[in-house]
Amino acid sequence: MEKSKITKAVLGRLPQYLAFLEDVSAQDIPFISSTKIAKELSLGEVQVRKDLSVVCGKGKPKLGYRTGDLIKSIESCLGQSKLTPAVLVGAGKLGKALLEYDEFEKYGVQIMAAFDCNEQVLKIHRSLEILPMSQFQEFCRTHEIRIGIITVGEGSAQAVCDQMLASGITAIWNFAPCKLRLPEGVLFLQENLAVSLAYLNNQLLDQKRKEKEEI
């Protein structure tokens, strides 16, 4: 199956499946059914079957999925068999919050180091080095970095982006609130925390309006 067909929602559930299946495997259970998975994880059986069909196709009639094969398929989809190295630029409050997040490796990405132009923040942060920007290009090329995370302010974001591209990075996750100029072929994800919160607030207000209409 092509990983490109995996939706964000399915991708978000895969680590949950994987953790459960690893427990099942530890009990030497060779096969597991979608019904059992759905029951144990409090998910819909149809949803579980659809999710797993994207990962590894259909299970065997009356047996389900071979536990070991399903684990390998999910690990492959998550990229856990070989972690993709990434770097972060901008070790301020947001940048450090991302450095403290422990879940990235479950999704196949490992932040190797962070960079900042402020000498006061250049230190070890939770075993990760915060390095000066003067070392950025050499570090990226030495470690074959392909993913860059931008957590600097709007005024510095384009310059950081340009440095990333010059260092061989081909995928960028941008938290700066601005549009970046990018050449064709670069993978790009714009993260806007304010929009996400506004969307949630809009849903809340809509829910309240519906509740008033029902009274």
Q: What is the pLDDT of residues 75-106, one digit of tens each?
A: 888 877 788 999 999 999 999 999 999 889 88
Q: What is the pLDDT of residue 1?
A: 43
- pLDDT of 46 over the 60 cut: yes
Q: What is the pLDDT of residue 58?
A: 83
> Who wins on pLDDT, 85 or 59?
85
Q: What is the pLDDT of residues 9-22, one digit of tens each?
A: 888 899 899 999 99
Q: 3-state SS of the chain? A: CCHHHCCHHHHHHHHHHHHHHHHHHHCCCCEECHHHHHHHHCCCHHHHHHHHHHHHCCCECCCEEEHHHHHHHHHHHHCCCCCEEEEEECCCHHHHHHHCCCCHHHHCEEEEEEEECCHHHCCEECCEEEEEHHHHHHHHHHCCCCEEEECCCHHHHHHHHHHHHHCCCCEEEECCCCCCCCCCCCEEEECCHHHHHHHHHHHHHHHHHHHHHHC
Residue 37's Cβ-count burial label (10 Å; 0-12, 13-18, 19+) is buried
Name the pTM for this structure.
0.74
- pLDDT of 205 over the 70 cut: yes
Domains within the chain, CATH numbers bracketed = 3-78 (1.10.10.10), 84-195 (3.40.50.720)
Residue with tokens 């009274």: 215
